[in-house]
A and B are shown apart, each in its own frame.
Chain A
C-alpha cells in the first residue's frame, strides 16, 4: 500500500513540474518603474504611491483592491519628495573608493498634507472608495472614465469581489497635473486594517512585465516575500571607471542575474537598514522625520523621539506567469543591514576605503562570466 501511495504522490508531484513557467529569452524589459511605500504597524498598513506611475491606460486610472477596512484618513496627499528621497537614499549606487558616504544631513521640510505646489489631492486625483456592498458600481465608474475592462481583468475583479474586498479607484483630474518639473504631483496615502497587500488590477489585461520597487517600512526588521523566493542583489563588486559610465545597465544586469532563479523568478533585495543602526548606508539626506512621515506612525512618538524605522527595498519584475499569486510579505526580526554599493576603482590615489567595511571583490574576478562581457560589449 505505501508503495502505491508513493507512486500516486510521485505522479502528483511530477505532474506539477512542467507547469512551472519556462524561462524565455524574449522577456521584455519593463517600461518604467512603479514605486510603492508599504508601512506596517499593529495589523494596519499605510500604502503610499504615485497614482500617475500606476495608470496603465491613457487616462491614468488605477483600481486597487484593499483587503481590509479602509480608514478615514485615506486619500490624503503626501509630498512626493519623500518617496523620491527614500528611493535615492536606498538605491544601488557606485561610490568613490576611499570615501565614506556622509551621514544624513538636514533636508527641506516636507509638506504635511499637500503636494509640492500647495494644492490638495482633489486638485489632482478623482478618488472613489468602494466598500464590499457597493463594488457592483465599479464597472460603471470605470466606464465613466473611459475604461473598458478586458475579460481577464473582469475575472480578476470578480474574484476580489467574492472575497469581499474594498476598492480604491483613482483617476486623474483632467488638465490639473502640474507641468513644471519642479512641482511633481502629490503621492497618495491609503490606510487600511490588514497586513496584506494587493497589486493594482491590470485594467486593460496587459500582460507585459512591470517593474516594481516596494519600500517596506517596519519596526522589527527586514521584510521578505512569504510566497516567493527573496534573494540579495550582488553588492560587493568593484567597478572600473569604464563600467561607471553605464551604471544603469550594470545594475540591470545584476538584477537580472539575481532575479532569474532556475525556471522561476525571485524578488530581489536591494537595501535593508535603519537610520539608527547604519546611517552611513543611506546615500542622501534622509531623516527619521521623512521615514516617520511615510510610515504608519506618521508623527513622532509621545516622548518626541522619531520612531526607529527599518527600511527594506525590494525590486520585482512582475509577470503574471512567474508571480501568479498575490504577493504576501513577511516581516522578519533580521536587522542585519545590507547595501548595494560598488566602489569605483581609482587608477591613482588613496584606496584605503572606509574603516570597518569589507573589501569589495574586483570586477576583474568576473572576467570569465557573461556579465562581464555584457557590461563591456552591451551583449544584453
Chain B
C-alpha cells in the first residue's frame, strides 16, 4: 500500500496557517529579543520537533490521505510562546501531547481540545516542571502582538474573528462591571486587557475552528461562557491561568452547542469556516 505521508503539495500560499506562522514568528522574535525570561531557541526546536514527529507518526498510523505539518508547526510555536519548563524533556513531551490529543480525543470526526491548550493544562496539572508567564508582555510587545494578530486575522479573511471579538467583548464587559462595582480606577481593567497572553488566547486558541461551535449563535454563547467561567475562576477561586483552565473545562461542551445551535440556526446567521488554527 502506498504511503499516505507524501502526496499533497506542502505549499499553498493562500492558507490561513501561513499567516498564523508568520505572526507567531514575528512575536517569537520580538519576545526572544526583548525579554530576559523569554523562550530559548532550544525550547522552540524541541517543542516543534515533538509536535512535528507526532504529527508524522499519527498521520502514518491512522493512514490519513495527506500529511500536513503546518498545524503541528503552529501548535509548536504557540507552545513556545506560552509554555516554560525547567527540564528539557518537557518540551518535546508538550509538543507530542498536543498533537496526540488531536488524534486520540475525538468526537464526531473532530478533535475536542485545542492542542496547545490541552498540552499546557495537562502539564500544569500533572507535572511539577512547567509554568506560564502571563506577565511577560511589556507595553511595546503588547502593541506588537495586537497589531500582528489583528493583521493576521484580517489577511486570512476567513476564520473565526467573530468568536475572538465575542470573547474579548465578554471579558471586557466583566472586567468593567467589576471596576464599577469596586469603584476601582479604569486603569485596572485597561491594564488587564493589555496582555499578550490574552491576545494569543483570543486569536490562536478560542478561534480554533475544529474545537469551537460551527454556528455563529453557538460561538457567541460559547465565547461568553468561557469568559464568564474564566472570570469566576480568576476572581472567586484564585485559579491561574484562568483562561486556559476555563477553555479546557468547556471544550467538551462544543458538541452539545453544535447540536443545539447548528449552523444557520439560532439568533445569528453563520457562514462556513474551513481553516484550522493551532
- Given A226-B240, A324-B188, also A12-B168 (CB < 8 A): yes
- Given A2-B157, A261-B139, also A334-B86 (CB < 8 A): yes
Which of B35, B157, B181, B191 contacts A325, CB < 8 Å? Answer: B191
Contact A262–B138 (Cβ < 8 Å): yes
Cβ of A128 < 8 Å from any Cβ of B?
no
- Given A6-B154, A232-B36, also A324-B138 (CB < 8 A): no
Q: Quick one: which of B129, B138, B159, B181 has the most chain A CB within 10 A? A: B138
Q: Determine the residue in chain A with the shortest Cβ distance to B193.
A: A16
A194 contacts across to B, CB distance below 8 A: 238
Cβ of A321 < 8 Å from any Cβ of B?
yes
B186 contacts across to A, CB distance below 8 A: 19
Q: Tell me which residues from 189 to 223 in chain B have a Cβ below 8 Å from any Cβ of chain A.
A: 190-195
A224 contacts across to B, CB distance below 8 A: 37, 133, 135
Cβ of A356 < 8 Å from any Cβ of B?
no
Q: Determine the residue in chain A with the shortest Cβ distance to B172.
A: A12
The distance in angstroms between the C-alpha atoms of A20 and B84, with both chains bound, is 28
- Given A2-B162, A195-B238, A333-B131, also A13-B139 (CB < 8 A): no
Q: How many residues of B contact A (CB 8 A)?
A: 49
Q: Determine the residue in chain B with the shortest Cβ distance to A155.
A: B183
Expressed in whole angstroms, the minimum distance between the Cβ of A129 and any Cβ of chain B is: 21
Which of B136, B153, B191 contacts A6, CB < 8 Å? Answer: B153
Contact A332–B133 (Cβ < 8 Å): yes
B238 contacts across to A, CB distance below 8 A: 194-196
Cβ of A278 < 8 Å from any Cβ of B?
no
Cβ of B134 < 8 Å from any Cβ of A?
yes
> Which of the segments A105-113, A157-165, A168-176, A242-250 contacts the partner chain?
A157-165
Contact B183–A13 (Cβ < 8 Å): no
Contact A262–B139 (Cβ < 8 Å): yes
Q: Tell me which residues from 118 to 158 in chain B have a Cβ below 8 Å from any Cβ of chain A.
A: 128-131, 133-140, 143, 146, 150, 153-154, 157-158
Contact B128–A324 (Cβ < 8 Å): no
Cβ of A1 < 8 Å from any Cβ of B?
yes
Q: Determine the residue in chain A with the shortest Cβ distance to B134.
A: A226
B190 contacts across to A, CB distance below 8 A: 16, 19
Interface residues of A (CB under 8 A from B): 1-3, 5-6, 8-10, 12-13, 16-17, 19-20, 155, 158-159, 162-163, 194-196, 220-221, 224-232, 261-264, 266, 269, 320-321, 324-325, 328, 330-335
14 contacts between A and B (CB under 8 A): A1-B162, A9-B150, A9-B165, A9-B168, A12-B172, A195-B238, A196-B238, A229-B137, A229-B138, A231-B36, A324-B187, A332-B133, A333-B85, A333-B86
Interface residues of B (CB under 8 A from A): 35-37, 84-86, 128-131, 133-140, 143, 146, 150, 153-154, 157-159, 161-162, 164-165, 168, 172, 181-188, 190-195, 238, 240, 271
Known: A19-B186, A230-B136, A325-B188. 19 other contacts (CB 8 A): A2-B157, A2-B161, A9-B161, A9-B168, A12-B172, A16-B190, A16-B193, A16-B194, A17-B143, A20-B194, A162-B182, A226-B240, A227-B192, A229-B138, A230-B135, A261-B140, A264-B138, A334-B86, A335-B86
